[in-house]
Chains A and B, each alone.
Chain A
């Protein structure tokens, strides 16, 4: 099986360790893992801004780059949602790109759903000393029905205990451009998320989308919380976060 890892532009720029953790997890499955060279951005920022032309340009580029693999795995529910749910919409009436978009969508997986539902291998070597609470990101949860998978995987990690926070399905207030367009509102929302996280009393908050995690970490630190760790689930599962 030839797997492609799509690291996402946010991981590329803001936290490369998430990309390497995802790479280790996929390589651990024993197959060939390729990081397609030309990958940049899936085009979601243009789509969210309502610019269909730019979103389609970047979608065509991504489709051409990613369609030659048995599966494409992405450590982000948000970017996966873009490819799985938005690309087919963008080219619904396009006889050339439509079938290609739909074929890619069917082979594209968010990391935890790939590990739990497709690969189904034990994470025997994963270790984490402490408790974590899991934040369900909106696109993963409501766009891709990812809920059970990250928890199943976390439960396999030796030494890890899972403490659910209240309102784990509530939005963190990131929303891409929303966080920079409506900063005060976004801060108000993430403040409530921080309260939920602290109520769980875990050593770390873990999630599957770096955007949400940067938002949460940024607010926790601004509030003066220097101890609650903020980790991407790939980092926890790959055991590389110490």
Chain B
């Protein structure tokens, strides 16, 4: 798999440590988390006000996604037929490299020197900006968060809030340098002004870019349209101003009808930002027709597999229901202890812990399925009911089945289970262990450093009892 050479997911453990010790990052994350959670809660409350039941809506959404995935080929072919009939071109890409190659070819064919991009996680999978730059074509990210991380030379750390890990001071430093002005002291009150500044810069890019690239939140089979859900308006600029518009998205993003799209739209913005509807919802169909005021002269869809088709019919098919709202990471205790970069590849949080091993190879992301407390806060907020902890658990099983767990872990589990299968022996060991723990605690009721579980005692004491097990005390009580 081509993606693997750029994945840092194998270094999760080490990177997690760095992120935990980064005080500025921690402050930023702790400020952001309650906002995300409160916004979604408000979004759900607004459903209730409209007389809609979240659980009912989510099972409807789940059924739509399942029904689509069951006949994915049929809906994709219908989409291709309808999109082509409306004047667009539909191309297919097997992996990220093919995406980059297709986009560079299209750009060259149309004499493009600058590309304006609205948010696309798939272009991150394809490392498209790198490929464009290497071909002498300037990619400009126009989503504000994406613009910030592009200036910083970093990947996004969140699928809907790419720069959530950045402090306002860091953004100010990037803007001052890029926009050629002196550094100023900024507070959150200055955010609108800073956004205005970026807007002025981006406006010039919109006007001068010969090509626009966007993702798609959904593809609608019956109309051959791409649906774009945005808040900043940059999506509209990217998809209407340049003469060429390229839509890059995964093959699983398709839904059969506009009606299905409307149902999923009740779930997506509420789960993501708590909005009952995003500031902009665009349905993009075909090309500019005579009499139209704007629109691209050429619209090209690139529909990408990059590992998705492998999940069809597998134990992981549920993951393809994902509508990329970010609610799982917004409610994840692990994500909000680290931020997204620790996860090492394009997708962070619980959905990333499932997708990264599946798209880049299970053997290349061994930590990620274990980077979960199993709390299921993610699964319980997922708008299409993806059982994320179950999928992570299945990946853990597959690591075992393929002999990918460390021998020390396998040995200790086997020894422990062998003993636990023999009650008399188990009691004997438990009694010895209780004595030993008590001896280590030395009458204080707690152990401060314990070589057997160093990761525990690095940050916590280990409280222990009086040196006797329940079963030995109970046996003594019965004898009395």
Residues on the A chain within 8 Å of B171, using CB: none
Main secondary structure of the interface of A (DSSP, over half): helix
Produce 1/0 per residue, B439-469, CB < 8 A to A. Answer: 0000000101000011110111111111011
Determine if A52 and B421 form an interchain contact, defined as CB atoms under 8 angstroms apart. Answer: no
Determine if A218 and B461 form an interchain contact, defined as CB atoms under 8 angstroms apart. Answer: yes
A48 to B398, alpha carbons, bound, how many Å? 12
Q: Does A14 contact B (CB under 8 A)?
A: yes
Closest to A54 in B: B417
A102 to B342, alpha carbons, bound, how many Å? 40
Determine if A49 and B405 form an interchain contact, defined as CB atoms under 8 angstroms apart. Answer: yes
A13 to B428, alpha carbons, bound, how many Å? 11
Determine if A182 and B461 form an interchain contact, defined as CB atoms under 8 angstroms apart. Answer: no
Q: Does A120 contact B (CB under 8 A)?
A: no
Of B17, B373, B464, chain A has the most CB atoms within 10 Å of the CB of: B373
Which 8 A-B residue pairings sit nearest by Cβ, starting from the closest? A183-B455, A50-B396, A175-B373, A187-B459, A218-B460, A171-B375, A16-B470, A138-B375
Q: Does B203 contact A (CB under 8 A)?
A: no
A58 to B417, alpha carbons, bound, how many Å? 7
Determine if B458 and A187 form an interchain contact, defined as CB atoms under 8 angstroms apart. Answer: yes
Closest Cβ of chain A to B476, distance in Å, is: 11
Q: Could you list some 29 contacts between A and B, CB below 8 A?
A: A9-B420, A13-B469, A14-B463, A39-B423, A40-B420, A41-B426, A49-B405, A49-B413, A50-B399, A58-B417, A142-B377, A142-B379, A175-B375, A178-B370, A178-B371, A178-B374, A180-B456, A184-B17, A185-B337, A187-B458, A187-B460, A188-B20, A189-B333, A189-B373, A192-B333, A214-B463, A218-B456, A221-B463, A222-B460
Residues on the B chain within 8 Å of A57, using CB: 417, 421
Determine if A50 and B400 form an interchain contact, defined as CB atoms under 8 angstroms apart. Answer: yes
A102 to B198, alpha carbons, bound, how many Å? 60
Determine if B334 and A181 form an interchain contact, defined as CB atoms under 8 angstroms apart. Answer: no
Produce 1/0 per residue, B386-398, CB < 8 A to A. Answer: 0000000101111
Q: Does B284 contact A (CB under 8 A)?
A: no
Determine if A174 and B399 form an interchain contact, defined as CB atoms under 8 angstroms apart. Answer: no
A9 to B469, alpha carbons, bound, how many Å? 9
A181 to B21, alpha carbons, bound, how many Å? 17
Q: Does A106 contact B (CB under 8 A)?
A: no
Residues on the B chain within 8 Å of A45, using CB: 413, 416
Main secondary structure of the interface of B (DSSP, over half): helix
Of A175, A183, A219, chain B has the most CB atoms within 10 Å of the CB of: A183
Residues on the A chain within 8 Å of B396, using CB: 48-50
Residues on the B chain within 8 Å of A49, using CB: 396, 400, 405, 409, 413
Produce 1/0 per residue, B314-343, CB < 8 A to A. Answer: 000000000000000000011001100000
With A35-B474, A181-B455: A217-B463 Cβ-Cβ less than 8 Å: yes
Determine if A50 and B338 form an interchain contact, defined as CB atoms under 8 angstroms apart. Answer: no
Residues on the B chain within 8 Å of A2, using CB: none
A211 to B461, alpha carbons, bound, how many Å? 13
A45 to B334, alpha carbons, bound, how many Å? 20
A10 to B459, alpha carbons, bound, how many Å? 20
A78 to B339, alpha carbons, bound, how many Å? 28
A52 to B395, alpha carbons, bound, how many Å? 12
Q: Does A15 contact B (CB under 8 A)?
A: yes
Residues on the A chain within 8 Å of B379, using CB: 142
Residues on the B chain within 8 Å of A160, using CB: none
Q: Does B13 contact A (CB under 8 A)?
A: yes
Closest Cβ of chain B to A50, distance in Å, is: 3
Closest Cβ of chain B to A228, distance in Å, is: 13
Of B377, B398, B420, B448, chain A has the most CB atoms within 10 Å of the CB of: B420
Determine if B473 and A37 form an interchain contact, defined as CB atoms under 8 angstroms apart. Answer: no
Q: Does A201 contact B (CB under 8 A)?
A: no
Closest Cβ of chain B to A148, distance in Å, is: 17
Number of residues from B at the complex interface, CB < 8 A:
65
With A52-B397, A182-B455: A175-B413 Cβ-Cβ less than 8 Å: no
Residues on the B chain within 8 Å of A142, using CB: 375-377, 379-380
> For chain A residues 215-242, which have a beta carbon within 8 Å of chain B?
215, 217-219, 221-222, 230
With A52-B397, A181-B455: A12-B16 Cβ-Cβ less than 8 Å: no
With A175-B375, A182-B455: A19-B470 Cβ-Cβ less than 8 Å: yes
A173 to B400, alpha carbons, bound, how many Å? 24
Give 6 new A-B contacts, CB below 8 A, not counting A51-B410, A51-B413, A171-B333. A58-B421, A142-B380, A173-B333, A175-B374, A184-B21, A184-B458
Determine if B456 and A183 form an interchain contact, defined as CB atoms under 8 angstroms apart. Answer: yes
Produce 1/0 per residue, B149-176, CB < 8 A to A. Answer: 0000000000000000000000000000
Residues of A within 8 A of B (CB): 7, 9, 11-17, 19-20, 23, 35, 37-41, 43, 45-52, 54, 57-58, 61, 138-139, 142-143, 169-171, 173-190, 192, 214-215, 217-219, 221-222, 230
A217 to B447, alpha carbons, bound, how many Å? 12
Determine if A178 and B373 form an interchain contact, defined as CB atoms under 8 angstroms apart. Answer: yes
With A15-B465, A181-B370: A218-B375 Cβ-Cβ less than 8 Å: no
Produce 1/0 per residue, B19-45, CB < 8 A to A. Answer: 011000010001000000000000000
Of B26, B413, B423, B463, chain A has the most CB atoms within 10 Å of the CB of: B463
Residues on the A chain within 8 Å of B461, using CB: 217-219, 221-222
A190 to B459, alpha carbons, bound, how many Å? 10
Closest Cβ of chain A to B138, distance in Å, is: 39
Residues on the A chain within 8 Å of B465, using CB: 14-17
Q: Does B414 contact A (CB under 8 A)?
A: yes
> For chain B residues 403-428, which have a beta carbon within 8 Å of chain A?
405, 409-410, 413-414, 416-417, 420-421, 423, 426
Residues on the A chain within 8 Å of B417, using CB: 43, 46, 51, 54, 57-58
Closest to B30 in A: A192
Residues on the B chain within 8 Å of A185, using CB: 16, 20, 334, 337-338, 371
User: A16 is contacted by which of B26, B448, B455, B469 (Cβ under 8 Å)?
Assistant: B469
> For chain B residues 355-391, which have a beta carbon within 8 Å of chain A?
369-377, 379-380
Determine if A222 and B413 form an interchain contact, defined as CB atoms under 8 angstroms apart. Answer: no
A49 to B468, alpha carbons, bound, how many Å? 28
A196 to B458, alpha carbons, bound, how many Å? 22
Closest Cβ of chain A to B67, distance in Å, is: 24
Determine if A222 and B459 form an interchain contact, defined as CB atoms under 8 angstroms apart. Answer: yes
Closest to B16 in A: A185
With A142-B375, A175-B375, A185-B334: A12-B420 Cβ-Cβ less than 8 Å: no
Closest Cβ of chain B to A60, distance in Å, is: 9
